[in-house]
Chain A
Amino acid sequence: MHISDGVLPTSMAVGSYAVSLALTAWSVRKTRGDDLPKVAVVTSSFFVASLIHVPLGPTSVHLLIPGLVGILLGSSAFVSVALGLLLQSLLFQFGGITAWGANSLMMGLPALTAGWLFALIKGKTLFRTVLAGAICGGLGVMLAGTVLAVLLISSGEDFLGVAKIALVAHLPVIAIEAAISAFTVSFLYKVKPELLRTAFPAAT
């Protein structure tokens, strides 16, 4: 799920760049200084996660983990995703550099949504927290597919067709990421619950 160079029309690429830069600036301002080490670790994980391929029939899809980034970082998630995608496009040639804005929106908006939702629905108990983690983890990938479809309307694709393909191809990823998020959240809940507590200051 990466948009390559030259797929989007110029106006769309420039517009998404502007929105992404604005969101990144907002995200940086929202980031508390004490959270920076956490941001670094989660960004590194996000950067590397896309190299983990899940074989699926003749093709393979890779992990995306926008949901988990959102859960762990809250409003700082956008800068994390933007930085990770910038380095991915520079070093791995995943997605084009001109499509960086669109790719950041595609991963960053689901991350913010997942973080906001997680802060909203996580309860006090372990079960409720884990359930919220699983839902938000799966939701991140689903939303990413939806945003991809919305972005590709501008290049003349048909929305429902793209959305269907993206969602069907990523069904295993959705399941795997829900499981990974649930596992991570349950582990953190037991070991270091304060990592989950202040995830999205805006929602609390």
Chain B
Amino acid sequence: MGAFSLLNRFSLWFAAGLILGAALFALKASAQDFQLSRSSPPGREAGQLAGQNDKPNRFEQCDQIMAQLQQQKHLMTRELAQIKRELVALREHLSRPGMQEIFAGIGYILGLVGIAFYLHCRKLRKGP
């Protein structure tokens, strides 16, 4: 019982140490990673290591991003204009009278003239 308890306690401490060590290692690695990513993006590491001046590079990058954004904006504007044109065409198409309205109108005309014709015939029959 005593020996078992000793072994048990030892293994407990060992496992705790392992876990602590692994946690510390992971923390350290992630901290390093974070620092690395904050200080410089991966693509620019070589330039920094070569000891070049930092400022012109940043401006250049800014310009690049700006150009990309403007290009994207241009594309978006063009697509939006296209969609607007399509919308106008669709609205015009929808407002155009369809078969239903045409036949409704013809039906109204025939019906009204039919009533007039009926009245006319009734008058004719009563007349003479």
Contacts and interface: CB of A to CB of B under 8 A. Distances in A.
Interface of A: 33, 36-37, 39-40, 43-44, 47-48, 51, 83-84, 87-88, 91-93
Contacts of A83: 109, 112
B120 A47 contact: no
A47 B106 contact: yes
Candidate in A40, A83, A84, A88 with the most chain B CB atoms within 10 angstroms: A40
A91 B110 contact: no
Contacts of A37: 113, 117
Interface of B: 95, 97, 101-102, 104-106, 108-110, 112-114, 116-117, 120-121, 123-124
B120 A33 contact: yes
A154 B96 CA distance: 30
B113 A88 contact: no
A91 B100 CA distance: 10
A88 B97 CA distance: 10
7 contacts: A43-B109, A47-B106, A48-B106, A51-B102, A91-B101, A91-B104, A92-B97
Contacts, number: 46
Contacts of A36: 113, 116-117, 120
A135 B95 CA distance: 35
Interface SS of chain B: helix, strand, loop or mixed?
helix
A39 B114 CA distance: 11
A33 B121 contact: yes
A92 B96 CA distance: 7
Given A33-B116, A36-B117, A39-B113, 17 more contacts: A36-B116, A37-B117, A40-B113, A40-B114, A43-B109, A44-B105, A44-B109, A44-B110, A48-B105, A48-B106, A87-B105, A87-B108, A87-B109, A92-B97, A92-B101, A92-B105, A93-B95
A142 B109 CA distance: 27
Given A33-B117, A51-B102, A40 B109 contact: yes
